[in-house]
Structure 1
Amino acid sequence: MTVSRLIARPMLASMFVVGSVNALRNAPALAAKAQPITDKVVPQLRKATGLPIPEDPTTLVRINAGTQLVAGAALATGRAPRLSALVLAASLVPTTFAGHAFWEHDDAAVKKQHQLNFFKNVSMLGGLLIAAGDTDGKPGVAWRARRAAGDAKREAKHLAKSARREAKLAKAKVT
């Protein structure tokens, strides 16, 4: 692992670990901010997935915080960094819309603060997407799949050529 990955992953994860601990401590207060989003998203998720997703915003805030805490710790320690970055990215989207809907505020100072935090989260989302795609210098799944397909195609050509040659030899022996 390069030094930049060794340093960058914990730095990126730090906000999620600290934020999730804060969210777990203050879940009821954050649930009030999350409720407009959860009221819209939960019925759609239930319909799409058929999973028994809780409706209580406080419970959902705690689930999201726990998810961010575990995925943040995994990213920071380098355990399944691509998967943990993807989980953090997915959990960051509703968190951002629930916590920093700057377009709903009239007070200029409050609106500016929420706008700043909204775009901070957007930039963190970009970093997480980069981390989710980072193969740590090793070939990714897509490259390995293309390579395997190319190898299989080359092998099939070789086998077909050998089979034609063997068939020609067998025909020559028969006649």
Structure 2
Amino acid sequence: MTVLRTIARPLLASMFVYGGVNALRNAPAMGPKAEPVADALGKAAPQLATSPTNLVRVNGAVHVVAGTALATGRFPRLSAFVLAATLAPTTAVGHPFWNESDPGSRQNQTVHFLKNLSLIGGLLMSTLDPDPHKKFIGTRAKNRVVDAKGVVVERIDDLRP
């Protein structure tokens, strides 16, 4: 893993691990915000026992597990995709700036909404990494030059009598 990935993945994942632990610890207090989602899920799948508090707990657990996986480089593309997929509804439910009448609250919710959209963009970019364990492009280029030099030297030696 490159130095850039070694630093970038934990930085990107840190918000999810922290937020997930916070959601697990404070699920009852955060539950009311998830009520619209619980109601919609209850209508779509009545056989599921979906309470807002349990949805917050499940979302928090997913963020902790996928965030830790991303930070440690375990299944980085899959974990980034899972985090992006779960962050979209979390953002819509958690930061509905369009419902705020107070300008200060609206500004605060807008900032958090846009921050989460930025995180989703970074996560989606992480899913495009063609080989998450591949060395940095500069290192790969240097190694190819060194390998090519060796081939050229061998061929020149073969030409000498």
Q: Which TM-score band applies after superposition, normalised by the shorter structure?
A: 0.7 to 0.9
Partner of 1:69: 64
Number of matched residues?
134
* Unaligned segments of structure 1, at least 5 residues: 140-175
Shift of the alpha carbon at 1:37? Answer: 2.8
- Aligned-partner Cα distance in 2 for 1:23–1:138: 31
Partner of 2:143: none
Residue identity matched to 1:4: L
Partner of 1:6: 6
Q: Quick check: 1:54–1:60 contact (8 Å CA) kept in 2?
A: no
CA gap of 1:60–1:103, structure 2 versus 1, over 3 A, is same
Instruction: Describe how 1:14-29 pairs up with structure 2 within 5 A.
Output: 14-29=14-29
Partner of 1:82: 77
Instruction: Describe how 1:99-138 pairs up with structure 2 within 5 A.
Output: 99-136=94-131
Write out per-residue CA displacement over residues 110-160 of structure 1, whole angstroms, 9 at most, x where no aligned residue: 010000000000000000001112123689xxxxxxxxxxxxxxxxxxxxx
Shift of the alpha carbon at 1:54? Answer: 3.2
Q: Quick check: 2:2–2:133 contact (8 Å CA) kept in 1?
A: no
Shift of the alpha carbon at 1:2? Answer: 1.6
* TM-score, length of structure 2 as denominator length: 0.77
- Aligned-partner Cα distance in 2 for 1:23–1:122: 19
Moved more, 2-11 or 70-79: 2-11
Alpha-carbon RMSD? 1.8
Residue identity matched to 2:116: N
Residue identity matched to 1:21: V
Instruction: Determine what percentage of the aligned residue pairs are the same residue.
Output: 53
Q: Quick check: 1:37–1:97 contact (8 Å CA) kept in 2?
A: no
Shift of the alpha carbon at 1:4? Answer: 1.1
Residue identity matched to 1:102: F
Partner of 1:150: none
Residue identity matched to 1:81: P
Partner of 1:36: 36
* TM-score, length of structure 1 as denominator length: 0.71
CA gap of 1:53–1:87, structure 2 versus 1, over 3 A, is farther
Residue identity matched to 1:35: E
Residue identity matched to 1:93: A
* Unaligned segments of structure 2, at least 5 residues: 135-161
- Aligned-partner Cα distance in 2 for 1:121–1:42: 26
